[in-house]
Amino acid sequence: MTGGSLYSAEDYGRVAVCAGGNSAEREISLNSGAATAQALQARGIDAELVDLDERFFTRALAGDFDRVFIVLHGCGGEDGSLQGFLDLINLPYTGSGVAASVLGMDKLLSKLLWQSAGLPTPAWKTVNSLSSLVQAAETLSLPLMVKPVSEGSSIGMSLVETEGQLADAWQTANAQNQLVMAERYINGDEYTAALVMEESLPLVRITTPHKFYDYKAKYYSDQTGYYCPAGLAPAEERALADLARQAFEVLGAAGWGRVDLMLGEDGQPWLIEVNTVPGMTDHSLVPMAAAAMGWHFEDLVVAILQSSMQRRFNSSLRRVAHG
């Protein structure tokens, strides 16, 4: 596979590039969606950027679209909610299905499944109060990462290095109105592994002058370093890519996605999370890895769109719903 399409532009029909929504990642999603829609249009595909609101659901039920390219990040679009609706009306879409979307969005469920499969992930405790976070710090030892269980883009996440930082970390994570997790901090290099239509893309190594790879480092900092090739020995890169693929498959993820890992100073790899709808902005990692494969951005989005062709539904339900 070289990033080219197995189908003609006409085969895809009318494509809704679904972005925006109401999650904390709305701004990033809209940026991803605009870039994706423009790239599809450049390849002659009938694509329309659509914000996720009531009008989208009405139009989807009316049969205005033949498939959906999901570029929604966070709750409401990446957590299985939209996927469930699209399954009910038999409208094909890109990426993972309902179950894998739920699991990928929930860091706790992901870690439980990885643990049961014997895959390495840092030790953690769920917390529901500042006092329980203090207890977790005593059990796991500092430093810790404190994060909401179901949020992306490092929103609500803090690195806690001293006991005096626990209260602020709790408030930051708890403000997202989600279950909160304290996770053992891994001191080492951060990597991300992208998969597109069952093909592993080159790993990207990430460096940042920030304490960790936070929201500002991801989307706004010009000092964040991205290295692709990642600088690993070939055997070590293959091992990390294989681990990422296992993590992806254990969750039942499909189509495309990204697995984030840490490589400890002792060489031990650790799984951090799976993103079933990664970012597609100019700072995003999947386009960066695709470029290292020689794919243009347009090649990448068309390759991802092909994952929707694996869902061939009968559209009779939508026709029946509207007479």
Whichever domain contains 79, its CATH number is: 3.40.50.20
Predicted confidence at residue 301, as pLDDT, reads 96
Condensed to tens digits (0 to 9), the pLDDT of residues 244-275 reads: 999 999 999 999 999 999 999 999 999 999 99
0.85 exceeded by pTM? yes
What DSSP letter does each residue of 240-278 carry, written as one string? HHHHHHHHHHHTT--SEEEEEEEEETTS-EEEEEEESS-
The answer to the question of residue 178 being in a domain is: yes
The answer to the question of residue 263 being in a domain is: yes
Q: Which domain holds residue 311?
A: 9-95+300-321
Strand partners, 159: 145
**Tokens representing residue 73 in the block:** 């990040």
Catalytic residue among 153, 154, 284, 307: 153
Predicted confidence at residue 209, as pLDDT, reads 65
Catalytic residue among 260, 284, 298, 308: 260
Is 162 within 8 Å of 142 (Cβ atoms)? yes
Give the residue from 148, 146, 178 showing the smallest Cα distance to 165: 146
**Catalytic annotation present for 273:** yes
For the chain, the maximum distance between any two Cα atoms, rounded to a whole number of angstroms, is: 64
Spatial separation of the C-alpha atoms in residues 101 and 76, rounded to whole Å: 11
Q: Which residue's entry shows tokens 């998969």?
A: 195
Catalytic residue among 20, 95, 152, 279: 279
Predicted confidence at residue 311, as pLDDT, reads 59
Predicted confidence at residue 77, as pLDDT, reads 83
Predicted confidence at residue 25, as pLDDT, reads 79
The answer to the question of residue 224 being in a domain is: yes
HSE of 87 in the Cβ direction (CA atoms, 13 Å)? 11
Predicted confidence at residue 222, as pLDDT, reads 65
**Tokens representing residue 14 in the block:** 């009318």
Catalytic residue among 79, 273, 298, 299: 273
Please list the rounded mean pLDDT of every run of 10 residues in the chain (323 residues).
Answer: 70 96 85 96 97 94 97 87 96 96 93 97 95 94 90 74 93 84 93 93 86 53 81 96 97 96 94 94 88 94 92 44 40
Same-domain pairing of 216 and 198: yes
Same-domain pairing of 221 and 249: yes
Condensed to tens digits (0 to 9), the pLDDT of residues 120-144 reads: 999 999 999 999 999 999 999 999 9
Is 207 within 8 Å of 193 (Cβ atoms)? no
Predicted confidence at residue 294, as pLDDT, reads 93
**Catalytic annotation present for 275:** yes
**Catalytic annotation present for 260:** yes
Same-domain pairing of 248 and 176: no
**Catalytic annotation present for 219:** yes
Same-domain pairing of 160 and 235: no
Q: In a 3-state reduction of DSSP, which class is residue 122? A: coil
**Catalytic annotation present for 25:** yes
The total number of residues written for the chain in this structure: 323
Given 158, 184, 210, which residue is the final one in a domain? 184
**Tokens representing residue 21 in the block:** 């929504």
The answer to the question of residue 143 being in a domain is: yes
Same-domain pairing of 191 and 289: yes
**Catalytic annotation present for 63:** no
Same-domain pairing of 206 and 83: no
Q: In a 3-state reduction of DSSP, which class is residue 67? A: strand
Predicted confidence at residue 284, as pLDDT, reads 87
Number of domains in the chain: 3
Same-domain pairing of 140 and 49: no
Same-domain pairing of 207 and 284: yes
Same-domain pairing of 206 and 285: yes
Catalytic residue among 78, 219, 308, 318: 219
